[in-house]
Structure 1
Amino acid sequence: MKEQSIQKAPLVILMVNMFIAMLGIGLIIPVLPKFMLEFGASGTALGYLVAAFGLTQFICSPIAGEFSDKYGRKRMIVIGLAAFALSQLIFALADQMWLLYLSRLIGGMGAAFMIPSMMAYVADITSVEARGKGMGLLGASMSLGFVIGPGIGGFLAEYGLRVPFYVSAAVACFATLASFVFLRETLSMEDQLAARSSEKKRENIFKQFAYSFKAPYLVLLVLVFTLTFGLANFEAIFGLFVDQKYGYTPKDISILITVGALIGVVIQSLLIDKLLRRFGEKRLINLSFFVSAVTMVLMLLSGNFWYVMLVCLIFFTFTSILRPAINTLLSKMAGKEQGFVAGMNNAYMSLGNIVGPSLAGILFDVHINLPYLFGAFMLLFSLLLSVSWNRRTKDKHITPAIQE
């Protein structure tokens, strides 16, 4: 493959399908608080419901990664999208809480099969030099789905609270069919058969975690966890928080999330590369953790709609910078451990998606402000951890753990 090359056609198809899948997720966000009231659910129940998704994503990710090597990227992407479509349909039809949990568990399995395979797909069709750009474009398509989804969801909720869930299931079905028909396989049959016949056993997730504790990039993986924890803590309870504290409607919530996600799209697709080159990963990480922590506290001070919108804009701006900055540093240090690091990145992220919403829901039932205060504390802790790590590595050039 030529230097700095990207196979544009398959990347566009992948981006479109990622956009459609994330559109389905975004559709339901503004209506979820009102929808949960039909079941008499508490903040704790909502937190656990969000965390259920991360639980199966965490458990299934190592298996999905192995299957992606053995049976191809396309097959895993299609299976993941189909599972997601099924989960949304179950959610739309649910009349008992256990069905909601079942839906989220299936959705997490779908994400485990879909997202790592999509990232591997991008790696297959881009050169090393262009990989960051390819990942950024995939991330932008993901964010764009969130941008448009909540706005459409708030509008569809006017016709009934379950309508966005049915539409979400429909668009996920469309993405599944589009991937099956138009997406070509990037992993040769020879490579797939070699992976299937390999006698090398993949270490279980606990041994992989044990290995990551000894890695030079451990602090970055911990930052992935704390960042995801902070984001999940903010987003999982956001709708319920502004609904109960400030009396916001599904349409209000959809506008706030749409504007916030739009900022993320602009930064990830147009600005992140320039920002990283201009300021460097470490400086951006430290600044972003600090500002994100401050905005979580500012969220508690006023219910004025425009004030909350400004706070959300600032929060989403800096959290949109954080993940690419951390991932770039991780990639630089991974060397020939790219696959392992990608798996660990996803595992630590999944843990954040489990612990963050669960704790946010529990704290919400204790006091409505506690999720945001504790989230701010976690982000400040991340800042201190990052600064400490920067000092220890100040005079060291960032080199891969295993040289290529």
Structure 2
Amino acid sequence: MDRPARLDRLLPFLVLTVFLDLVGFGIILPLLPSYASDMGGTAETVGVLLASFAAAQLLATPLLGRASDRHGRRSVIVISLGANVVAMLLFALAASRHALWLLFASRMLAGATSGNIGACQAAIADVATGPERARAMGKLGAGIGLGMMLGPWIGGRASKLGEAAPPLFAAAMALVALVGVLVFMKETNPAVLGRAGRDGRETAPRGAVSFAALAANPLIAAVGALYFMTFLYMTTLQTALALLAAQRFHWTKDHVGDLFGLFGLVTLIVQSALVGPIAQRVAPVHLVRGAGLLAAAALACIAFSPVSAVMLVGLVLMATALGLTQPLLASLASQYAGEAQQGAVLGLAQSSGSLARAIGPLLWGAIYQHVSPTAAFLGGSVAALGASAVTLRLRETDAATKPTPE
């Protein structure tokens, strides 16, 4: 079967898989600050809680990426979804017992096994190239956006059924996705498929190189830096937006769920309808640069919002910026990876984002609590400007590595 036909058959299923998984993630993410606060935590505790997930993800994601290169995308997705079911059940237990340590254990387990999105992106890279890859990454991002749109809305309503209800709903979503992968998904990794029918020995994929060698590649290093800066400014929302909405505008949990639902809706529209057509006309690096500038303006808007309507405008602008950025980052990372290193490169890139997710919540939580809410969002705005600046280096690096015409 040729690549376009394989992509057409595979993509809807991958989109459904990340959609179900991100519905679960979206259910609990906006409510995490409220859960931590109910258990006696502060804004700094929220930062540490989010950072614990990211720290575990930072250590595990490159290994999961390499495992998907060696053993296949399907097996990594199965492990990630199965562990997420267990993590959400731990979350429900923590909520019912008001046990902060169990909440931390749940988030760390989820972070240590969160390799499914990277594996889905690598599966797309296995069967798509060029503009089709960017389009497919955009569709995958739309599945993520739809999940992040519906998840917070479901979580806000489920919270009225009891404290354990949101994570139990999240566990159910991950379980449905797991069953779908086990029943329907076929392997896409060419190295694993190439070993089928041979002697069955597990060997490293041809062309596999060390993580150090990958990180030394200037293109991959530049994309990693771009991932870091992007996720650094993105964590401002995860850490401080729910707190700001409650403190400044007296919004409740269900209203905060609606707020993140709006964010997911805008992201969905951008990724499903705009990324593909725009990527055919504008270079991805230029798009990511412009999105960083837009995100900087959006966070400044939220920082100084005197009324909730201004905060909503900033949120819509931020969702537009991230809707453009996220699928293009994955497309850039896979573009610079060789066929045998798709999972490893995407894993390293995701790990750079995880490092930002570990640092960002601690940073923004401390600034929010000890300086001011406004300062936390202004810090995120500065980080967004930094992401735009990194694209200049990426452009220079890209030009420097191209052969010079004779």
TM-score range, shorter chain: 0.7 to 0.9
Alpha-carbon spacing, 1:129–1:313, altered in 2? closer, same or farther (3 Å): closer
Check if 1:134 corresponds to 2:139.
no
Matching residue's letter, 1:379? A
Q: Which residue of 1 aligns with 2:389?
A: 384
TM-score (norm 1): 0.88
Q: Which residue of 1 aligns with 2:42?
A: 42
Question: Cα deviation per residue 1:51-82 (whole Å; 9 max; x = unaligned)?
Answer: 11111212112222232233332222111101
CA distance in 1, matches of 2:327, 2:147: 18
Matching residue's letter, 2:387? S
Displacement of 1:98 after TM fit? 1.4
Could you tell me which of 356, 359, 369 is aligned with 2:363?
359
Displacement of 1:91 after TM fit? 0.8
CA distance in 2, matches of 1:204, 1:186: 22
Displacement of 1:199 after TM fit? 9.7
Displacement of 1:346 after TM fit? 1.5
Displacement of 1:317 after TM fit? 0.4
Q: Is the 8 A contact 2:91 2:106 kept in 1?
A: yes
- Report % sequence identity: 25
Q: Which residue of 1 aligns with 2:180?
A: 178
Matching residue's letter, 1:167? F
Question: Cα deviation per residue 1:101-158 (whole Å; 9 max; x = unaligned)?
Answer: 110111012213x222222222334456632222222221111100111111111222
Question: Cα deviation per residue 1:342-361 (whole Å; 9 max; x = unaligned)?
Answer: 23212211111111112112
Question: Cα deviation per residue 1:12-50 (whole Å; 9 max; x = unaligned)?
Answer: 222212111100011123433332222110111111111
Displacement of 1:265 after TM fit? 1.0
Alpha-carbon spacing, 1:399–1:344, altered in 2? closer, same or farther (3 Å): farther
Question: Cα deviation per residue 1:245-264 (whole Å; 9 max; x = unaligned)?
Answer: 32111122122211121111
Matching residue's letter, 1:360? W
Q: Which residue of 1 aligns with 2:374?
A: 369
Q: Which residue of 1 aligns with 2:235?
A: 232
Answer with 272-281 or 84-93: which moved more.
272-281
CA distance in 2, matches of 1:280, 1:127: 15
Matching residue's letter, 1:152? I
Q: Is the 8 A contact 2:232 2:357 kept in 1?
A: yes
Could you tell me which of 339, 345, 348 is aligned with 1:344?
348
CA distance in 1, matches of 2:325, 2:355: 18
Alpha-carbon spacing, 1:183–1:39, altered in 2? closer, same or farther (3 Å): same
Matching residue's letter, 1:92? A
Unaligned residue ranges in structure 1 (runs of 5+): none
Displacement of 1:204 after TM fit? 6.4
Check if 1:83 corresponds to 2:83.
yes
CA distance in 2, matches of 1:109, 1:389: 29
Matching residue's letter, 1:48? V
Q: Is the 8 A contact 2:30 2:238 kept in 1?
A: no
Could you tell me which of 178, 196, 203 is aligned with 2:202?
196
Q: Is the 8 A contact 1:61 1:346 kept in 2?
A: yes
Q: Is the 8 A contact 1:119 1:135 kept in 2?
A: yes
Q: Which residue of 1 aligns with 2:259?
A: 256
CA distance in 1, matches of 2:243, 2:255: 12
Q: Is the 8 A contact 2:68 2:343 kept in 1?
A: no
CA distance in 1, matches of 2:57, 2:271: 24
CA distance in 1, matches of 2:33, 2:251: 10
Q: Aligned pairs, how many?
A: 394
Alpha-carbon spacing, 1:90–1:393, altered in 2? closer, same or farther (3 Å): closer
Unaligned residue ranges in structure 2 (runs of 5+): none
Check if 1:290 corresponds to 2:296.
no
Answer with 243-252 or 188-197: which moved more.
188-197
TM-score (norm 2): 0.87
1:264-275 → structure 2 map (5 Å cutoff): 264-275=267-278
CA distance in 1, matches of 2:130, 2:282: 22
Q: Which residue of 2 aligns with 1:19?
A: 19
CA distance in 1, matches of 2:181, 2:158: 26
Displacement of 1:231 after TM fit? 0.5
Alpha-carbon spacing, 1:61–1:282, altered in 2? closer, same or farther (3 Å): closer
Question: Cα deviation per residue 1:231-287 (whole Å; 9 max; x = unaligned)?
Answer: 012222211221123211112212221112111111111111222233332332222
Check if 1:32 corresponds to 2:32.
yes
Answer with 211-220 or 99-108: which moved more.
211-220
Displacement of 1:340 after TM fit? 4.4
